[in-house]
Amino acid sequence: MLLSVLLVLGVCLVPAHSKPAAEYLGSPLLQSCFQEAKKIVDDAYKYSREESLKRVRKEVVSPHDALRLLKQPRGDTRSAVRSADYMAQTLRLLQERVHRVHKRSLNATDLLSDVDLQTLVAITGCAARLRPPQCSTTPNLNKYRTITSVCNNLNNPRLGASNTPFTRWLPAEYDDGISEPKGFRNQKINNFLLPLVRQVSNNILNTTDRGVINDTEYSLMLTFFGQFNDHDFTLTPSSPSIRSFSNGLNCGESCENSDPCIPIPIPPGDPFLKSNPKGCIPASRSAPACGTGYSAYNFGGKPNVRENINSLTAFLDLSQVYGSEDKLAQFLRDLNTDSGLLRVNTEFTDNGRELLPFNPLNVNSCANRGKITNDSNAKEVPCFIAGDSRADENIALTSIHTLFLREHNRLARQLKKLNPQWDGETLYQEARKIMGAYTQVFMFRDYLPHILGADVVHTQLGPYPGYDPNVDPSIANVFATAAFRFAHLTIQPFIPRLDADYKEHSQFPSVPLFTAFLTPWRVVFEGGIDPLIRGVINRPAKLNVQNPVMVDALRERLFQFVRKLALDLGSLNMQRGRDHGLPGYNAWRGFCGLSQPKNQEELAQVLNNNDLAHRLLQLYGTPDNIDIWLGGVAEPLVPGSRVGPLFACLIAKQFQRLRQGDRLWYEKPGVFTLRQRAALSTATLTRIICDNTDITSVPRDPFNIVSKRNPLILCNTIRSLNLAAWQE
């Protein structure tokens, strides 16, 4: 009778009498717990969305809101995250009730029957995440990539696909061994407490913009092209909820650790306390993948470690242009014509050239033009939309997105002239296929040698070895969360804008970096992308040296334009590593076959810097505990590179795997014809710039600063891609 009443009321409780708990964990009770969990999750999502809308309307968006909106899961990613939250909260409720009644440690999943476990996976929606897709019905499977990259590996169709977990190269290290972030319980690790990440940032990363040292070899294009391509294969969505599922705390208003809230404490005496009087910088956990952590359904209900979702495909396929989900990819296409074009802005052009379309969503997280320019009559514009949600993050990145949008449409129009019989679908797919090959050529031939150095490229990457279906191309958690974030230390405190003579633009001068975040109106109303492209190919990157480290715009003023509050990118990087359970510095040194320093003397030898080693050990106590991102960026650079030995190893290993595990890599026989591959080998980023802007002269190598060895050359002297090989 009691159970019937509870089910009618929708309350998930285990009756308190002598019968075994397993008798009461049948499907009806499981359904009841699921319904309660579903309401908790749905209400939290709804509350979070309504709060976001309120803040946008009142123009009180916080930096935390801005960052969260950039990484907000959408479309199928949101469905995947919601399913994981449904499962986690259903099991949490079951677990709480079992413990409350039986006063002993029992795992709810151990008490569920196989039928109940299967029911749980089905009703939460996680079954769809575990079920292998059918590849036999996918059209042109061997000719074109699917948007989601399912069926790239025919033996394991989800390998490298969007909305699958990051892979791990070393076992995760969580406080509870399963899910809680490192340092969550404030317990000792290797006999030492982990330091506050903001304290580490203050003591190690602190610098002033006046102390920036310019790179003597490489331009800012190296920085922003790296960011553009990082957004091709890594995006870790944040939880859609801004309040705790268990107690309703608002992550933006509380300093309590309560999933998904993982606030960053501010140490005493920190200037951040003036703008964050409650004593913490708001932060939220990355969303978990279905069936991992305490919500694991591992064909027996045993919990395994929490994994994080990569909402993008693992391949170099320009998904930041085309999208990693079918619905978004369809929206980004111009389906009003049969020409295979991408959708463009219908309200504005850039001196007659195309701009990205505006985002149709009501929530506009981009900066208010009127407030920044002190012009109450200034026309506001929405955020742009592209294949990746971060296209508006800064205007240099937006300009590169715009460049590649235009190049797709240029290719589609040229292919239409060559093959007037082709329909819009063929034109779109062929142009997209060429564009995907572009990024593979540019990254391996032009970008990685600058980052890794010629020796590492030769020894760890080498020539294309052919496709191996047994190689897992999935992006590693350590790569996405630490190693490929090295370029945060190559960003200048400003974004340059130059005129046709490569001098400071008189009408639209360079802008401080912190005023260039989420400002698409600067592209629309302030000279378009040409001044920005000239700026990034003609001005040096910041040199990644041990001191100074991170510019003020990132460490003290990240997203400050939206309010007096700000975020600290260095602290966020380290907090994210702990959230993801990444092992410490020495574990990764060992993984790469490098020495593992045990004391200050040995660490000083590795870092070639006794003072830095001393300051690190004052904070961490042992090299074992140094956060992997910080340890990686602290190392002296490999000769001819822009990373240290540890990150050179991890980055090379990732690119080696995503190339060898890609069934549709451009060099694989049969993907392109021999003539097409020969033509693609001549493609250059400089030619793309020349074809899609009004710029008339460019450096021979846009990643190097202009010099006698790398002079400006006229666009009409640069070889164009010969599309004759694509003519039927």
Over the stretch 574-584, which tens digit does the pLDDT of each residue have?
999 999 999 99
Alpha-carbon distances of 422 from 178, 284, 408, 415, 427, rounded to whole Å: 53, 48, 16, 8, 6
Q: Which of 1-15, 547-561, 680-694 has the highest mean pLDDT?
A: 680-694
Residues 6+ apart with CB under 8 A from 265: 196, 198, 255, 279, 280
* Amino acid identity at 150: V
| Nearest alpha carbon to residue 286 among 179, 392, 196, 129 | 179
The answer to which of 55-69, 247-261, 359-373, 691-705 has the lowest mean pLDDT is: 55-69
pLDDT in the model for residue 2: 28
Q: Is the pLDDT score of 146 beyond 70? A: yes
- Tell me the average pLDDT across 500-528: 93
Grade residue 559 by pLDDT with cuts at 50, 70 and 90.
Answer: very low
- Tell me the average pLDDT across 411-431: 98
- Tell me the average pLDDT across 527-552: 88
| Nearest alpha carbon to residue 221 among 479, 541, 441 | 541
Instruction: Report the relative pairing of strands 511-512 and 280-281 from DSSP bridges.
Output: unpaired
DSSP 498-564: B-TTSSB-SSS--EEGGGSBT-HHHHHHTT-SHHHHHHHHHSEEEP--SSS-S-HHHHT-BTGGGSS
Share of the chain above pLDDT 90, in %: 62
CA 499 – CA 527 distance, rounded (Å): 10
Q: What is the mean pLDDT of the chain?
A: 87
The answer to which of 158-162, 270-274, 435-439, 469-473 has the lowest mean pLDDT is: 270-274
The tens digit of pLDDT for each residue in 98-127 reads 777 665 566 666 667 778 878 888 888 888
CA 160 – CA 472 distance, rounded (Å): 7
CA 682 – CA 721 distance, rounded (Å): 7
CA 98 – CA 100 distance, rounded (Å): 6
CA 555 – CA 201 distance, rounded (Å): 8
pLDDT in the model for residue 296: 59
CA 272 – CA 121 distance, rounded (Å): 44
Q: Is the pTM of this model over 0.85?
A: yes
The tens digit of pLDDT for each residue in 38-89 reads 999 999 888 887 776 666 555 545 555 555 566 667 888 888 889 988 888 8
Cα angle 551-554-559, degrees, rounded to a multiple of 5: 145
Catalytic residues: 231
Q: Which of 270-284, 309-323, 544-558 has the highest mean pLDDT?
A: 309-323
Max Cα-Cα span within the chain: 88
* Amino acid identity at 327: K
pLDDT in the model for residue 364: 60
| Nearest alpha carbon to residue 163 among 125, 136, 134 | 125
pLDDT in the model for residue 13: 46
